[in-house]
Copies of this chain bind each other. A is one copy, B any other.
């Protein structure tokens, strides 16, 4: 049986929208005077799942899970409930089941124009881990921060390197962030200075949300890993390069990253991404057995970064790349994360690491594109950027191109406010 392709909501069918019937990403939204609740994006509308649930149109197993300020309760119900809910929503929004389409009062109540909705952080994140899985990115950074001739560290081809990030400062798209202050070591000074960051950067990443917990002491295999994933988001891992360079040896980045991480408001489910699975990248040497994988765990997701200076008429696209080029897959990341016995929890966010391609216009950070600020990029309004300036808005977008439709992530954006 082929799933229906179009919706009676016209804006879902134009071939360009990120939110056609094939997508149905989950988020948390509110409207004026109402408390946050779970919704699904469809065309230019948000479908209020709490309202649908109240009307008895959603699976009984999900009863009460949508009148919630985050997706965690729904996610914790497990994969069969995710699938059943997706099937119900597909039926309701295609019109195969007319219960919503033909009920004007319910439509009025349950469909909210996206322009009238405030989007919130979709998930309460118990743990945030950030990986470092693009070979191009690791090579570019190693070249600049360490040894140009041995840019890739010896462990990089063996380990899907990751580190623990700061979950408290993960914010939803649209949240402005102050330029961080911190310690910076200037080349000719004996001691560091305390200063606003002078090398503020973004990192284009994606993240997956853990959908099923694991127990302490029980590793997740690469084969089981997909069963532990609920969905994906766009992620901007804001980075203060000068603070990072001074602080990161020996325990890793801390204040250079902890001031904020932005994610997109819509969580695109793994089920919606299923048609976009691709062959895994070749890995040489062959990884250790616990990292080997049989499934196709790469995903074809086209990504872009744009930068819009304060007052500029439009954003300038400065990076185009694709998620499928990542060396280590999400299944390998999760298998590695848990192989020691470390447990994961529902809602955990796992960042991919910066997604860089082969050429400067596909690099996922200004650090790489501008060679640490030495070769600024020129924007549409003629201004140049080595690193971010106050007032800059960074906008990341991404989508999977289907036949006549796109499964998209919308965008994650964030504006830089002056340091305090």
Contacts and interface: CB of A to CB of B under 8 A. Distances in A.
Interface of A: 126-127, 132, 142, 145-146, 153-155, 158-159, 161-169, 171, 177-178, 180-183, 185, 191-192, 194, 216-219, 240, 243, 246-256, 258-260, 285, 288-290, 336-337, 339-345, 348, 420
A402 B259 CA distance: 41
A45 B290 CA distance: 48
Given A251-B252, A260-B216, A343 B169 contact: yes
26 contacts: A126-B168, A155-B247, A159-B247, A161-B251, A166-B342, A168-B216, A168-B342, A168-B343, A168-B344, A168-B348, A169-B341, A177-B217, A181-B219, A183-B288, A191-B285, A216-B259, A243-B340, A248-B251, A250-B252, A251-B252, A255-B336, A255-B339, A256-B340, A258-B337, A258-B340, A341-B420
Nearest to A342: B258
B249 A164 contact: no
B127 A166 contact: yes
A181 B335 CA distance: 12
A75 to B, nearest CB: 16
B164 A163 contact: yes
A192 B158 contact: yes
Nearest to A341: B259
B217 A178 contact: yes
Given A159-B247, A259-B340, 11 more contacts: A126-B168, A153-B249, A163-B251, A164-B164, A169-B341, A177-B216, A178-B217, A248-B251, A250-B252, A255-B339, A255-B342
Contacts of A420: 217-219, 341
A interface, over-half SS: loop
A191 B158 contact: yes
Contacts of A158: 183, 191-192
B168 A340 contact: no
A166 B340 CA distance: 12
A106 to B, nearest CB: 38
Contacts of A164: 163-166, 254, 258
A181 B339 contact: yes
Contacts of A127: 166-168
A171 B342 CA distance: 11
Contacts of A337: 255, 258
A246 B154 CA distance: 9
A290 B162 CA distance: 30
Contact of A248 (B180, B250, B290): B250
A151 to B, nearest CB: 11
Given A158-B192, A192-B158, A247-B159, A255 B345 contact: no
A236 B344 CA distance: 20
B161 A183 contact: no
A91 to B, nearest CB: 37
A168 B163 CA distance: 14
A178 to B, nearest CB: 5
A288 B194 contact: yes
Nearest to A420: B217
B163 A340 contact: no
Contacts of A339: 181-182, 255
Contacts of A126: 126, 167-168
A168, A256, A344 — which one has the most chain B CB atoms within 10 A of its CB?
Answer: A168
B171 A216 contact: yes
Across the A-B interface, give the 9 residue pairs with the lowest CB-CB distance, nearest first.
A252-B252, A164-B164, A258-B342, A163-B251, A180-B340, A255-B340, A259-B340, A259-B341, A251-B252
